[in-house]
Amino acid sequence: MSKNKLLVVDDEIHILELLKYNLESNGFEVVEAENGEDALSIIKSTKINGVILDLMLPGIDGLEVLRQIRQSDQKDLPVIMLTAKNEEIDAVIGLEMGADDYIGKPFRTRELISRVKSVLRRAQLREEVVEHTNEIPSVGLFVNSETHQIFNDGKELFLTLKEFELLEKLIKSPSRVFTRDELLESIWGYDYMGETRTVDVHIRQLRKKVEKDDRNPEKILTVRGIGYKFKP
């Protein structure tokens, strides 16, 4: 089995060396870039399975790199953002732009490896899954799990990988209330208490794409004090 190839982007050499050593020790192949321009060039020319992307980069910053990835033919490429403690707001913006996850510096190596494996596992399952019933009609929504397409009133929606998985999960269990922790565990593949903001950000982005008025949602509903549900 070929190794997953990860692109690590950071302008701090010691961080690159630390990430490269630990990722390779855990069976990954690593490609490095010290700036956003080189990162985008590598993504275009090399088969990459995932990206670990620092927010603060010289020249093109991490958010701009992420934006260009999500607007390219590699839009489903898994991206984990690295942030400093004072960059939490930027990290939330990154999630809104389609980052799959983020982790703060300084990070624990074991946690980082767990996050990487989880993100890659979910991406691989999305590629391999073939549902018995591929099409799920719902209120104005039409989901095809095999082709990874969602239509809203006949118009195709362009969702990130996590947005698709989150909406699909809610639709498949109409009226069931999912807690934020349940959604975090199921979609992101790990139990990371205290990071349920990740779920809230993705729900907010989904509502902008699915609801007629995202401030007064009719399909993806909040159950106060618990979580979210899809109204059938």
What is the pLDDT at residue 100?
87
Contact residues for 163 (Cβ-Cβ < 8 A; gap 6+): 98, 202, 205, 206, 209
Cα 84 to Cα 90: distance, rounded to the nearest angstrom: 10
Mean pLDDT within 123-127:
65
Mean pLDDT within 14-29:
93
Residues of each domain in the chain carrying CATH 1.10.10.10:
135-230
The three-state secondary structure class of 45 is: helix
Q: Identify the band that residue 74 occupies on the pLDDT scale cut at 50, 70 and 90.
A: confident
Residues of each domain in the chain carrying CATH 3.40.50.2300:
5-128
- Quickly count: other Cβ atoms within 10 Å of residue 28's Cβ: 21
pLDDT above 70 as % of the chain:
87
Q: What class has domain 135-230?
A: mainly alpha
Whether the pLDDT of residue 228 is over 80: the answer is: yes
Determine if the pTM surpasses 0.85. no
What is the pLDDT at residue 43?
94
Q: Which two tokens stand for residue 116?
A: 């990487």
How remote is the C-alpha of 104 from its chain's centroid? 16
**In the block, which residue shows the tokens 């958010």?**
63
Whether the pLDDT of residue 127 is over 90: the answer is: no
Cα 39 to Cα 220: distance, rounded to the nearest angstrom: 36
Fold of 5-128: Rossmann fold (3.40.50)
Q: Identify the band that residue 138 occupies on the pLDDT scale cut at 50, 70 and 90.
A: low
Whether the pLDDT of residue 38 is over 90: the answer is: yes
Q: Which amino acid is at 83?
A: T
Mean pLDDT within 76-88:
81
What is the pLDDT at residue 121?
81
